[in-house]
Amino acid sequence: MFNGLRLQMTLLYTLSALALIALVGGGGYLIVDRYFQDVTDLALQHKMTHEFHILAAPIPLELIPADRDWSILRDNAAPLSRPAASQIPITRDQATHLAISYHGGGIVHDIKITTESDRLSYEVKFEDGDEYYLDAYSGDLINAKVLDDVLSPSQPTATPVDPVASFSESAYDAELAAIFVLPLDKNGRLLFDPNPYAPPLAPDKDALGVALASGRDLRTITLADGSRVRMLTYRLTRSDGPAALQLGRVLTDQEHVLSELLIVLLALSGVSLVILGAGSWWLAGRALSPAQQAWERQQSFVASASHELRTPLTLMRASAEVAMRSIEGESADQRELLGDVLTEADHMRRLVDDLLTLSRLDSGRLKLDRSPVDLTDLLGDIQRQVGRISGERGIAISLGQVAGVAIADAARLRQVLLILLDNAMRYTPAGGQIALSAEQRGQHIQIQVADSGSGIPPEHLPHVFERFYRADQARGVSGNAGLGLPIAKGLIDAQQGKIGIASALGAGTTVTITLQALPSR
């Protein structure tokens, strides 16, 4: 009995722990996934900002915070790439970032455009007094004036900082290096390819259409091989040059990391589930141990008491029978009293037998002899046996269609059917009918006991198989101990069968027993 409860408690503990593991692990997975998406989107916006810088186009206002956030996130990252020499001068922001990279950090005090060696250049002054002159078109370092007291003696003042090395340390990180650029005309044609590698997909015209109409578009595209690409498209704010820029990043590396994270989480969850399951089983056993011991002591007492009560009850009944035979022809009152003694002794004997049966069912010590049972013979014999009693009460017991051979304990099946017929006769008024039937359905046999009695109220129907539960008050009948149907259910369950009940108030009750059928040869 307690094994089922222990299993339920173990499942409850394990499922609660599993829910917690799923909540923590799933939350961690979602956090990492959201981090990847946010960083990818920020990197796309940052690079889009610098693509606008390179093309000397006005930067959309919503990209400025993204560029600032990326610089903070990446520790004041310099512009993505040094602009090539062209007829369009670099911007002050680009010159500032380049000077910082040449200087190796620091705070810019002042920046202005000037002429150095007859070349248009930016003069950038730092707070420590260092000055840098940058070509206004290419961004190349023209000259640098560095204070001697700032530099160590081994540092040459004329050696410029290699901008490519600075960019390698700060700007060319994984997010930016994986981004490709597609300059497009208004028809979606690629004008030129500025990427060091072949883009993994052609320009997306749907994204281009949205960007040309609303100014921008951000979406995730799934390629034919199943890989995904995060794509940002912006309409260019210059009248010449490309009509729009599409920037994309393949998410394969992120998905690989997420897949490995998921595998690790599932593995840890599996190991945790096994450990928690074992711990829950042990904990449930510890919690139920006192109740199990008390239940076993109770069952032992019931079994012992039942055995002890059977002997005095047998003696009482035998004494009452002897006394009744010895007073033949005497007082009718004495015979009536002795008849009451015999009736109550029989009732007590049945009650003791019921308790003993329940005790054996609970402890699993009830012996069953399952063998083929011909239901035609069994039901016919029961109908003849009970028919005499039911006839005295004015109740007709009929035998309907009966067919099939069940695998069951014949004595226990007879006991169950007698319990059901006793209930049916108790709640069926004179003139009513009770029908017995059996039919084979596939690999099972269904036996039905149907009466035309008062029926069971709907609120009592779910409880009729509970021990000592009585619906007699609602049905206007008394005298039932509430053990018949629980014993019937226990005996059928012990034979790997099922028992069910259907009833309508005032329309009768039908009890259905399902047992394994003898396989046909």
- The overall average pLDDT reported for the chain is 79
Domain 81-164 architecture: Roll (3.10)
**What span, in angstroms and rounded, lies between the C-alpha atoms of 374 and 362?**
29
Q: Is the dihedral of CA 28, 34, 38, 44 positive or negative?
A: positive
Q: Which two tokens stand for residue 223?
A: 């390629």
Report which of 478, 468, 449, 494 is spatially closest to residue 351, judged by C-alpha positions: 468
Q: How far is CA 406 from CA 195, 420, 514, in A?
A: 80, 18, 9
- In this predicted model, which residue has the larger pLDDT, 177 or 155? 177
Distance CA 53, CA 92 (A): 10
Between residues 491 and 472, the one the model is more confident about: 491
Segment 197-210 shows an average pLDDT of: 89
What is the average per-residue pLDDT within 455-460? 86
Confidence band, pLDDT 50/70/90 cuts, at residue 54: confident
* pLDDT interval class at 31 (50, 70, 90): very high
Residue 337 · residue 308 · CB < 8 Å = no
* Distance between CA atoms of residues 403 and 209, nearest Å: 76
| pLDDT tens-digit map of 70-108 | 766 665 444 444 444 444 567 777 778 778 877 777 788
CATH superfamily of this structure's domain 370-516: Histidine kinase-like ATPase, C-terminal domain (3.30.565.10)
pLDDT of residue 438: 92
Range in 210-219, 393-402, 480-489 with the lowest mean pLDDT? 480-489
Fold agreement between 81-164 and 370-516? no
Separation between Cα atoms, residue 117 and residue 130, nearest integer Å: 19
Confidence band for 246, pLDDT divided at 50, 70 and 90: very high
Average the pLDDT over 277-294 and give the result.
81
In this predicted structure, the answer to whether residue 190 has a pLDDT above a threshold of 60 is yes
The residue to which tokens 């912006």 are assigned = 234
Does residue 150 carry a pLDDT above 60? no
Domain definitions of the chain by residue range: 81-164, 289-363, 370-516
Which CATH architecture describes the domain 289-363?
Orthogonal Bundle (1.10)
- What value does the mean pLDDT take over residues 341-348? 77
CA distance 409 to 436: 19
